[in-house]
Amino acid sequence: MGRIRQVVPISVFLVWAALIGAGLLAATVRGRIEPVDYQTYHRAAVALARGASPYQTPAQSRALWRSYHRLDAAIRAAHTLRAAGSDPSARTPPGPYLYLPTLALLVWQLHLTAAPWEILDLACVAAFPLLWLRRARTSWWWLLLVAGSWDVWATYSGGNVEGMLLAAVLVAFVVLAKPFYVLFFVAFGVVLLLAAGEPRRATLRTLGAVAGLAVLLLAGEVIRWGPALRGDAVGYLAHTLDAQWVVLPVTQQTPMSAWNRTPLQALIALGLPAAPAQLVAGLVWLAALTASAWVVRDRRPSFAQAFALAFALLYLGRPVGWTLVGLDLVVCVAAWPALPRAGRALLLVGVLALLASHWAALVLTGLGDGLPLLTLQPADRPWETWLVLPLAWALGVWAARRLSVGREIASTNAARIIVIER
């Protein structure tokens, strides 16, 4: 019976993922679809092959963001004008390349066309929940949550590298692709360092070794870029904020400002300019990290609890977050054992309602009601940012506090075991 409980959800999830992957791959091979985020990476790779910079100027990047805003406005207008034959949803160019050069270099040097990129992406998207649930030692039925998540399949169908990062092993590659993932590794390291499990000196040595190896790999990769590409990367990093939609007038930031469920974007919606909002968002993340560290000090959180808390902190601190991919699975698995029956029912209902709202956004997009696409939250009332993210973090903190074992209890139990053995 236990074997069936394991095989059935895994089989359902893998078959569902294979069907989605086969459909997207078939459309790509026929030339009907090419994932939009992959187009961004490929365009940068083509530029590198020509010896040009993979980056657009900040002005060119802002022009691309404005084109998405115009498309959103045009689709809303066409909702009542389709009978007149208007076609505002004509193809628009992919977004600007807002990554370090490594991602474009890999696409170019490995000759990754759209089809193999999709296959690799699907393998990683499927691998992350399988690895996570195995490591957390929990029910495989949680895979159904992943199967029903539009956030997961939107990330995959768009060809975004995020799905690969979740399953990535090398810390250096994750940071090279999306540097803000360093927030996760810092938070995870702090939680482990302050926990009561291993001696802190041993934990510190392990974290130092991992960080040192990551720095060496990063340095080697930066050297591999060459002088010209390093100059391009420095120029990009110096003007990162100027290339984002957040510096545009608030009325021109949609639909990106609705999709981007981060405290930075929510602060901008309140009227703060981009630069001060970035500073305040950083302080909010630092305050949440400090509070989390205070809660878990001298406790013994499990791997799942420590990972979930760090993952929730990542979403509180990252500057860009089109989706909430992985957040529901990670937090639910970590918090589930700490909740009473009523709390579990409330959490499950809330998560399913959130998943349903994201699918509803996709349906509304198909009906021509603008480009909600990923979320129903309006740009001026970012309820997911102010409600879902803090709740996810609070659940992570609650699980780490409620389920972990304190240092005194752990020491007492260890002493009892020694006495019994003697």
**Per-residue model confidence (pLDDT) at position 90:** 47
Rounded to the nearest 10°, the torsion over CA 302, 306, 311, 313 is 150
Rounded to the nearest 10°, the torsion over CA 207, 208, 209, 210 is 50
88 vs 215, more confident: 215
Contact 129, 14 (CB under 8 A): no
**Per-residue model confidence (pLDDT) at position 47:** 97
Mean pLDDT of the chain: 89
- Residue for token digits 């290339």? 243
Contact 365, 182 (CB under 8 A): no
pLDDT at 281 over 90: yes
**Per-residue model confidence (pLDDT) at position 3:** 75
Question: Which structure tokens are listed for 96?
Answer: 């600007």
pLDDT at 128 over 60: yes
Write the pLDDT tens digit of every residue in 10-22.
999 999 999 999 9
Domain residue extents for the chain = 1-55+97-177, 178-244+253-422
Q: Give me the mean pLDDT over the 308-325 stretch.
A: 96
**Per-residue model confidence (pLDDT) at position 303:** 87
**Per-residue model confidence (pLDDT) at position 33:** 84
**Per-residue model confidence (pLDDT) at position 419:** 36
**Per-residue model confidence (pLDDT) at position 31:** 82
- Residue for token digits 């609070």? 394
**Per-residue model confidence (pLDDT) at position 416:** 39
Closest CA to 153 of 161, 143, 163, 144: 163
Answer positive or negative: Cα dihedral of 254, 258, 261, 266. Answer: positive
Contact 131, 169 (CB under 8 A): no
Question: Which structure tokens are listed for 163?
Answer: 């799905």
**Per-residue model confidence (pLDDT) at position 417:** 32
Write the pLDDT tens digit of every residue in 149-176.
999 999 999 999 999 999 886 678 899 9
**Per-residue model confidence (pLDDT) at position 412:** 39
